[in-house]
Amino acid sequence: MAATTASPSISFYTQTPNFELTIDQFEEFALKRLHVLRTIEKSTMMKGNNNDGVSKKIEDAIRKQGLAQAGEVLDTVSHFILRLSFSQNEDLRRWFLKYETSLFLYRLKKLKTSELISAVADHCNLEPLAPERIQPIKHHLEKLTPNPERNTFYAVPFTQVLDLVSRRQCFVKAGIAYIDETKLFAILSSQFRARLSRSLALRASLDHDEMNRLKPLIENLDKVLLVTDDAPMEGLSELRADNVASHKAHMPLCMRQLQVGMEKDKKLKHWGRLQYGLFLKTAGLSLEDSLAFFQKHFTTVTGEQFRKEYSYNIRHMYGKEGKRGTYGGYNCSKIILGNAPSSGHHHGCPYKHYDVDSLRQTLEQFKIGDAASRHEILQLKTSGQFQLACLKHFEVSHPGAVSNDRVPMENVGNHPNAWFKASTAYGKTTPSS
Ligand code: SF4
């Protein structure tokens, strides 16, 4: 790929990456950056967070998502993917611009002064002011710093450093702001913001085939909520092959539809087996019970066929075959951004993949909420807020859960297993439900 012009740990993302990615990598990279930007948003908005606490949260997210070094492949590619996705409308552009600039500024503040000076020379084409230009305004500069002779000063149009102007941290004369080297980050971040803002307005170009394949992902990235804690989820010890179906009412719509679809078809296609099998595994179903469970339902195949065609994949999910270790249940973003189910397939997220009429029928069939709450759910679906629609489904079918300390609501609407866990906990605290 073409290297992006970068100072040690900042990048202006001036060159579009030329790099081959699989669809999975594309999605993975995008979600990593989205996670970091959402962490910045959340940490800076949370009342009572002090600066150290905010910095620590941001630092942790950046490190965990592998975005510590600006200009590297993951950083560059993920920036351009989100740039494409968030250029769709004014609100998205504003959001992306705000938090990308925050990330840039955060990295900028980690640079040494010498690195800042060289970044300004590289990216802003600015030279330090010569002593003869400082002399006539020295008495003004003394109000900013006690020994102006010992500092390096720069002159920039005042519109580039409005923040410093409003905080009286620079001297302004004839439209020019004079700032000392400690304020260089203001120049750089303002440049970054202005360039990104221009680029967002020009939608990046991809050839049509690629664009069509990536379209669902690009168009829906901004609507994806992310799992707030990826610690492994505890399963239910009592889940067994013979009682999975009786837990159906505790499943979110995606998994419930897989169970219903499997009961109807007496089988489940590949993506459905994977989505449902991993969900059940994370929900606490053992490998032996998983094999027994699927075999019991796949009544159209013989025991021999089942062993040959299906048991390897089920064992693989539990890390007993192949090299790739163990997997956990898919979270909502993976399901929503994944491939859409075609006819005869039951995987995917009904809130994302069903049309409004089919979703309405499904909600009515399962008697989820009353007409008014179903209407609310459908409105959320129509506006593209699929995970919020799912959360609403949880709230209307588990009254009082939100204020019940014994119901772990964290990640309901972000992860099907969190939904299941919260619903089963609710069932135990309110046995009549
Ligand atoms: Fe399943 Fe998540 Fe969709 Fe809810 S939002 S139905 S849990 S994929």
Worst-scoring range by mean pLDDT, 27-41, 81-95, 201-215, 242-256? Answer: 201-215
Residue nearest to atom 7 of ligand 1 (CA): 416
pLDDT at 366 exceeding the cut of 50: yes
* Separation between Cα atoms, residue 298 and residue 283, nearest integer Å: 21
pLDDT of residue 390: 95
Q: What is the DSSP letter of 250?
A: G
Over its C-alpha atoms, the chain yields an Rg (Å, rounded) of: 27
Please tell me the number of Cα atoms within 13 Å of 94 on its side-chain side: 3
Does 215 score more than 70 pLDDT? no
Residue linked to tokens 């400690």 = 182
Per the DSSP assignment, residues forming a β-bridge with 176 are 157, 173
The total number of residues written for the chain in this structure:
433
Per-residue tokens: 71: 């200009």
Q: Which of 412, 31, 418, 71 is nearest to 233 (CA)?
A: 418
Which residues are within 8 A (CB) of 264 and not within 5 positions of it... i.e. 6 or more apart? none
Predicted confidence at residue 199, as pLDDT, reads 86
How close is the Cα of 332 to the center of ligand 1, in Å?
A: 5
Per-residue pLDDT band for 358 (boundaries 50, 70, 90) equals: very high
Is any ligand 1 atom within 6 A of the Cβ of residue 416?
Answer: yes
Task: For residues 113-136, give the mean pLDDT.
Answer: 81
Please report, as a single letter, which amino acid is at residue 318. Y
User: Nearest residue CA, atom 4 of ligand 1?
Assistant: 390
As beta bridge partners, residue 153 has 180
Average pLDDT over residues 119-148: 81
**Highest mean pLDDT pick, 145-154, 265-274, 312-321:** 265-274
d(Cα 409, Cα 394) in Å, to the nearest integer? 10
Range of weakest confidence among 14-18, 375-379, 406-410: 14-18
Residue 285 clears pLDDT 90, i.e. is over it:
yes
Where is 429: in which H helix or E strand? helix 416-429
Two structure tokens written together for 363: 């909600």
* Region 271-293 average pLDDT: 95
- Where does residue 362 rank: exposed (0-12), middle (13-18), buried (19+ CB within 10 A)? middle
**pLDDT score, position 204:** 47
Closest ligand 1 atom to Cα of 336? 8
Angle at 224 between CA 422 and CA 190, to 5 degrees: 130
The preferred substitution site among 223, 257, 330, 387 for testing ligand 1, maximizing ligand atoms within 8 Å of CB, is: 387
Check pLDDT > 50 for residue 36.
yes
The region that residue 266 occupies, defined by phi over 0 for left and psi between -120 and 50 for alpha, beta otherwise, is left
Which candidate, 410, 411, 406, places its Cα nearest to that of 426?
A: 406
Per the model's pLDDT, the better-predicted residue between 232 and 28 turns out to be 28
DSSP code for 233: P
280 CB within 6 A, ligand 1:
no
Alpha carbon 320 to its chain's center = 30
- In percent, the amount of the chain with pLDDT more than 70 equals 88
In the reported structure, the alpha carbon of residue 5 is separated from the centroid of ligand 1 by a whole-number distance in angstroms of 40
User: Which residue type, as a one-letter code, is found at position 104?
Assistant: F
- The count of C-alpha atoms lying within 13 angstroms of the C-alpha of 328, restricted to the half-sphere facing its C-beta, is 13
Counting ligand 1 atoms within 8 A of each CB, the residue from 248, 419, 423 with the most, and so the one to mutate, is: 419
Ligand 1 pocket check for 338: Cβ under 6 Å: no
Residue 53 has pLDDT above 80, yes or no: no
> Per mean pLDDT, which range of 38-47, 86-95, 185-194, 303-312 is the poorest?
38-47
| Alpha carbon distance 91, 98 (integer Å) | 11
Mean pLDDT of the chain: 85
Alpha-carbon dihedral angle through residues 317, 321, 322, 324, given to the nearest 10 degrees: 40
Separation in Å, CA 62 to CA 37, 47, 69, 75, 162: 9, 21, 9, 10, 28
Residue 6's pLDDT is 45
The pTM is what? Answer: 0.61
